[in-house]
Structure 1
Amino acid sequence: MNSSHNLLIKIEYLRKKMTKVALSKGYTDLESVAISQELDRLLNLYEKTKEKNN
């Protein structure tokens, strides 16, 4: 399994987790924001990985 595939798995997991937390606690809750920031970081890393592999 390559690193971009692993990133996609983590990204999808965090998307689902963020949605669940945001719907139960609110979009501005600290946990929602923290998950969102981590998701942004992984998405940026994924884009860099894709560019590097092309």
Structure 2
Amino acid sequence: MTAEQILDHIEQYRQKMMMLASRSSMVDNEVVEVSSKLDILINQYLHLTKGRSLKDRRAL
């Protein structure tokens, strides 16, 4: 998966998590699962772009 694809997934999961949390609570099992997946995606993105400046990351 490319950095750009990961960013797209990050945004999708972020929106899903916010929507779920607004309907229930931040400790709801589904919210926690989505949050965990979001953490994994963010870590993948950071690992993939390691060594690049923040400016270069945003250009992806």
TM-score normalized with structure 2 length: 0.81
Once the 2 structures are TM-superposed, how far is the Cα of residue 15 of structure 1 from its aligned partner?
Answer: 0.4
Secondary structure of 1:26's partner? coil
Q: How many residues align?
A: 52
Greater helix share, 1 or 2? 1
Number of the residue aligned with 2:24 = 25
For structure 2, list consecutive stretches of 5 or more residues without a partner in the other structure.
53-60
RMSD of the TM alignment (CA)?
A: 1.4
TM-score normalized with structure 1 length: 0.89
Match runs of 1:24-43 below 5 Å: 24-43=23-42
Identity, % of aligned positions: 31
Once the 2 structures are TM-superposed, how far is the Cα of residue 51 of structure 1 from its aligned partner?
Answer: 1.1
For structure 1, list consecutive stretches of 5 or more residues without a partner in the other structure.
none
Look up the equivalent residue of 2:42 and give its one-letter code.
L
Q: Which moved more, 1:26-35 or 1:43-52?
A: 43-52
